[in-house]
Chain A
Amino acid sequence: GAVVSQHPSRVICKSGTSVKIECRSLDFQATTMFWYRQFPKQSLMLMATSNEGSKATYEQGVEKDKFLINHASLTLSTLTVTSAHPEDSSFYICSATGTGRSDEQFFGPGTRLTVL
């Protein structure tokens, strides 16, 4: 199956700093990438959908100025959590769909963010 990587896998940062998370599709071109957040014992919540070369579409309640998404190429999307606070601590997971296969998503391994 298709491989999606995320970096870093784990990050601890101080409150007020910004953190960038990368999501890469390694062996296919990802026309669409999705960013999810998952709190302990809860479901994955879609934060935003990004298509290469266009602005991301954010879900209701997700602040676009706080969670900056850039999808600069067909293999890379980045999520930057700006001015992180402890309540942003969560498991962030990206997924990607390939050309002509919007019904199957391939998930990255996730990034565990802890904000002190």
Chain B
Amino acid sequence: RKEVEQDPGPFNVPEGATVAFNCTYSNSASQSFFWYRQDCRKEPKLLMSVYSSGNEDGRFTAQLNRASQYISLLIRDSKLSDSATYLCVVNQDSWGKFQFGAGTQVVVTP
């Protein structure tokens, strides 16, 4: 079983719609959680950290469920520019060793 698993998608989303997807992690000792965005042939860029209480940044909402060991990302009012692969990242130790999911592809269509 992979340590971090994501639905690869693609999630085809009409512009203006809402899309949500999850990421599960296997290590219950995981400490920090992030969503990164990666555009084709580019490096990952931090989208947002995920806090225990859930957090929102504009149209993006992230949630953490420690009991079920998953995090989620919801995108409201999707824009064409939201088309990308969203990487779930879990930090398992204090040395910053990240485990990446394979990514969920989101395609926003006009």
> Are the chains A and B members of one assembly?
yes
- How many residues of A are in contact with the other chain, CB < 8 A? 23
Chain B binding surface SS class: loop
Residues of B within 8 A of A44 (CB): 44, 87, 100
CB distance from A53 to the nearest CB of B (A): 16
Knowing A32-B95, A43-B100, A43-B101, the reply to whether A107 touches B41 (Cβ < 8 A) is no
A29 to B4, CA, bound (A): 29
* A46 B97 Cβ-Cβ under 8 A: yes
Is B57 engaged at the interface, CB distance under 8 Å to the other chain? no
Which B residues lie at the A interface, using CB under 8 A? 4, 31-32, 41-46, 49, 87, 91, 94-103
CB distance from B70 to the nearest CB of A (A): 17
Q: Which of A43, A45, A103, A107 contacts B91 (CB 8 A)?
A: A103
* B103 A43 Cβ-Cβ under 8 A: yes
* A43 B98 Cβ-Cβ under 8 A: no
Residues of B within 8 A of A103 (CB): 31-32, 49, 91, 96
Chain A binding surface SS class: strand
Knowing A43-B87, A44-B87, the reply to whether A102 touches B94 (Cβ < 8 A) is yes
* B44 A107 Cβ-Cβ under 8 A: yes
Within 8 A of B (CB), among A46-72: 46, 49
CB distance from B5 to the nearest CB of A (A): 10
Can you list 5 residue pairs at the A/B interface with Cβ under 8 Å?
Answer: A43-B100, A46-B99, A91-B41, A93-B44, A107-B44
CB distance from A104 to the nearest CB of B (A): 7
* Interface core residue of A36, A41, A91, A105 (most chain B CB under 10 Å): A105
Residues of A within 8 A of B49 (CB): 103-104
CB distance from A22 to the nearest CB of B (A): 15
Residues of A within 8 A of B100 (CB): 36, 43-45
